[in-house]
Amino acid sequence: MHHFNARPTEEFNARPTEEFNIFALGSFHGDDRVGWEVAEALRNVLAQGGLIENLTSPWDLLHRLVSDRPAVIVDASQSGRVAGEVFCVAPSELNCLLGCSSHSVPLCDILALAEQQRCLPAHLAVIGIEVQQTQPGEDLSPAVRAAIPVACDLIASLVGNWTGADDA
């Protein structure tokens, strides 16, 4: 079993040179863990230049979003799509597209607060992965596990476009 720990805010604040941030929201409840699994896979692909962090609550984003640093938020979704579907959502579209949230506060509300605090990144994408089951103690469903490389490719492409890494 993987253990995913969020970094303390102090450590995050001590890393001002990162080019991008990837925040994976999740829990240990079945497919809700998919964001964390994507983050783990991305650590092997995007090993340098960015911070990749696992979080358990959208509240954790408020002290981590930086207006001049591109960010990707990865989260499980229950929106009625096919299990394992990966999709990219603009922050302004979150209310209608991510569906039900397993979090204590909707992600769209946290992003609205970040915008009011002027820390919402100019380049921000929310990657949703449609889940099938979120039962405690369950492993990822096969369809959701198969979505991990798709999400990783999408995120790597976004980050490359934003940071100029694709300009080779």
Edge-to-edge strand ranges of the sheet holding 124-130: 50-55, 20-25, 71-77, 124-130, 86-89
* pLDDT of the residue at 14: 37
CATH number of the domain located at residue range(s) 18-162 in this protein: 3.40.50.1450
Tens of pLDDT, residue by residue over 90-104, are 877 766 444 445 556
pTM for this entry: 0.83
Termini Cα distance of the chain: 38
Domain boundaries, the chain: 18-162
Model confidence band, residue 89 (pLDDT cutoffs 50, 70, 90): confident
* pLDDT of the residue at 83: 96
Tens of pLDDT, residue by residue over 111-139, are 989 999 999 999 999 999 999 988 888 89
HSE, CB side, 13 Å, CA atoms: give it for residue 156: 16
* pLDDT of the residue at 99: 47
